[in-house]
Amino acid sequence: MSVGKQTGKASISFTDPVYIQSTASVVGPKEGDGPLKEYFDMICEDSMFGEKTWESAESTMQKEAATLAIGKAGLTPHDIRMVFAGDLLAQTIASSFGIAEMGIPFYGLYGACSTMGESLSLGAIAVSAGYGAHILCATSSHFATAEKEFRFPLGYGSQRPLSATWTVTGSGACVIGAKVPSASSFPGASPLVHANGCAAITGITTGKVIDFGFRDSLNMGGCMAPAACDTIFRNLEDFSRSPEDYDAIITGDLGMIGQHILLDLLAEKGTDISSVHQDCGLLIYDNQVQDTHSGGSGCGCAASVLTAWLLPRIASGELKRVLFVPTGAMLSKVSFNEGAPVSGIAHGIILEHIPTPCKGGKS
Amino acid sequence: MKQHANGNKTYKENQKNYVKYVNSITPTHSLPLNMIKAFLTGGLICAFGQLILNTAMTIGADRETAGNWCSLLLILISVILTGLNLYSKIGKFGGAGGLVPITGFANSVAASAIEYRAEGQVFGIGCKIFTIAGPVILYGILSSWILGVIYFIFQLVEVM
């Protein structure tokens, strides 16, 4: 197997595509009411996911997504060589507690809301280097745990500014590997293969932490847009591509304000992505009806939109090449209270439709 | 990126420009509308308090006892509404109108108690119940102390 090669200043292109073998998404009731409701694998009407605390609820949700993804790939947890998972909680407890019961070698990640990009990048690097036939990438976020971690108790009567985003209660998981996903006789198996082909990671652009001196943690779009701009611009440069080479450039959770800033910043650099840009945070909720202000956010936002909506579209060939750019804001309650600026990070993942030989699968 | 495009400007200036630019495109709540909502919400809560006070006095309580009843009942109602997850809706609508009266204070204490209950009676509720209300208590006592000192000095001056 040939490994990938370094491309440009901060990118890797994988010589052999890293296939997405299966995907799973689990979301809460609010997301289950949103525009993407028909695409999620599981909508849990109970925000507590049958648990006693919000943190356990998030762990259970992530475990559920991981179990689903493994089952859909026609595998058991023993077949997974390692898992790259993360979430928004301090010391990433949602992931470590959720994955613990599954007995899979575990790497815990923190990339704020960009964690899905981080886990897919590291997972793809490991697969490409031949260190795992099946690797699981998963992230989650929960509205209630994020509010507790970063803001106020849920019952507190405060006003959210219009720039605020709503943390998605959701988890997304993917099994990735070097082999083309194929139909399996395993009960419940439903790998990510379409009659037309499948989806694969063909390259990545690693994000830099970008600090523009912005301090308003309730305007995440403003904190993260410069990082998304940097990663997208470097990706286009490293791969010598123009925005038209992508059917879509999909950011994680910039929301309405972040999208506006991203388009402006890129326009300033002479790049126009307005015709191909979409944002997971704007896809998952109906901002007007669901009162989510600027849009959705959180690791679970990018992860659930990717796994439920985006990857099946790439597998079917509706989208041929997509740049997926989950965005994260780097801060803690302490750094914010100490007056430190909120910096951003964005990881770029190139996802491509691979037409053949992915035949024989379910559509 | 702005700091690369305009090499002659300093990094700090570019940061300042970026913050200014973001603020210019970020929508905000309408201030006059928020003030009207706060006036209505706060006004209604206070009018309700007055109703309790007057009722207590008509049924024979003296002014001080009636005042105590007023505070107690407002706190009780606020705590119950917090438990039913309704006070957060009042706060969202009324802003400072829901925050400033005694009901807002009670809400901040009850909401913290509910949120941190899972972390235990001592380290959860015990340590964190005043997470939001704590500053109000601390600086309330501090300002009372300062006023007390001023009052004390005035008395001394008068005596002399």
- The helix (H) or strand (E) run that includes residue A94 is helix A93-100
**CB–CB contacts below 8 A, A to B:** 108
For residue A170, give the nearest of A69, A296, A21, A350 by alpha carbon: A296
Helix (H) or strand (E) holding B57: helix B31-58
Residue scoring higher pLDDT (A313 or B7): A313
Contact between chains at B110 and A226 (C-beta distance less than 8 A):
no
- Evaluate if residue B20 carries a pLDDT over 80: yes
Q: State how far residue A222 is from chain B, nearest Cα, in angstroms.
A: 6
Q: What is the arithmetic mean of pLDDT over B40-48?
A: 96
| Chain A contact set for B102 (CB, 8 A) | none
Cα–Cα distance between A112 and A87 in angstroms, integer? 7
Q: Is the dihedral of CA B87, A170, B119, A93 positive or negative?
A: negative
In tens digits, chain A (363 residues) has pLDDT values of 556 789 998 999 999 999 999 999 999 999 999 999 999 999 999 999 999 999 999 999 999 999 999 999 999 999 999 999 999 999 999 999 999 889 999 999 999 999 999 999 999 999 999 999 999 999 999 999 999 999 999 999 889 999 999 999 999 999 999 999 987 778 888 999 998 999 999 999 999 999 999 999 999 999 999 999 999 999 999 999 999 999 999 999 999 999 999 999 999 999 999 999 999 999 999 999 999 999 999 999 999 999 999 999 999 999 999 999 999 999 999 999 999 999 999 999 999 999 976 444 444
Task: Tell me the backbone φ, ψ of residue A32, rounded to 5 degrees.
Answer: -70, -10
Euclidean distance between CA atoms A3 and A14, whole angstroms: 7
Closest residue to A268, CB basis, from B5, B110, B116:
B5
Residue B68 pairs in a beta bridge with none
Identify the H or E element spanning A311.
helix A311-315
**Nearest residue in chain B measured CA to CA from A56:** B118
Question: Rounded to a whole number, what is the distance in Å from the CA of B137 to chain A's nearest CA?
Answer: 17
| Residues in Cβ contact with A276 at an 8 Å cutoff, skipping those fewer than 6 apart | A243, A244, A246, A247, A248, A249
Quote the minimal CA–CA distance from A86 to chain B in Å: 22
| Confidence label for B160 from pLDDT (cuts 50, 70 and 90) | low
Range B26-42 average pLDDT:
95
Q: How many helices (H) and strands (E) does chain B have?
A: 9, 0
Task: Provide the pairing of β-strand A11-27 with A42-43.
Answer: parallel
Contact criterion met (CB < 8 Å) for A154 and B111: yes
Q: Which residues of chain B have a CB within 8 Å of the CB of A257?
A: 22, 25-27
Residues in chain A with CB shorter than 8 Å from the CB of B14 are: 212
Residue A357 is predicted with a pLDDT of: 63
Rounded to a whole number of angstroms, the distance from the CA of B14 to the nearest CA of chain A is: 8
* Alpha carbons B73 and A301: distance in angstroms, whole number: 42
∠ CA A203-A209-A214 to the nearest 5 degrees?
135
| Largest Cα span, chain B | 78
Contacts of A215 in chain B (CB under 8 A): 19
Instruction: Tell me if chain B has a CB within 8 Å of the CB of A208.
Output: no
Diameter of chain A by CA atoms? 58
Task: Round to whole Å and give the CA distance between A122 and A131.
Answer: 11
Q: Specify the residue for token string 């308003």.
A: A216
Q: Looking at the complex, does the CB of residue A219 fall below 8 Å from at least one CB of chain B?
A: yes
Burial class from Cβ neighbours inside 10 Å (0-12, 13-18, 19+) for residue B21 reads middle
Chain A residues near residue B115 by CB distance under 8 angstroms: 148, 153-155
In chain A, the residue whose alpha carbon lies closest to the alpha carbon of B118 is A53
Closest of A200, A203, A171, A172 to residue A314, by C-alpha? A200
Give Cβ neighbours of residue B94 (< 8 Å, ≥ 6 apart): A157, B37, B38, B40, B41, B42
Q: What is the pLDDT of residue A177?
A: 96
**Contact criterion met (CB < 8 Å) for B1 and A158:** no
Q: Give residue B11's pLDDT.
A: 80
SS3 A346: strand
> pLDDT value at position B92?
94
Which pLDDT band, with edges at 50, 70 and 90, does B2 fall under? Answer: very low
Which of A48, A151, A159, A223 should one mutate to test binding to chain B, selecting the residue with the greatest count of B CBs within 10 A? A159
Closest-CA residue of chain B to A227: B1
Those residues of chain B whose CB sits closer than 8 Å to some CB in chain A are 1-2, 5, 12, 14-16, 18-19, 21-22, 25-29, 34, 82-83, 85, 87-92, 94-95, 98-99, 104, 107-108, 110-112, 114-116, 118, 131-132
Q: Are A214 and A112 in contact (CB under 8 A)?
A: no
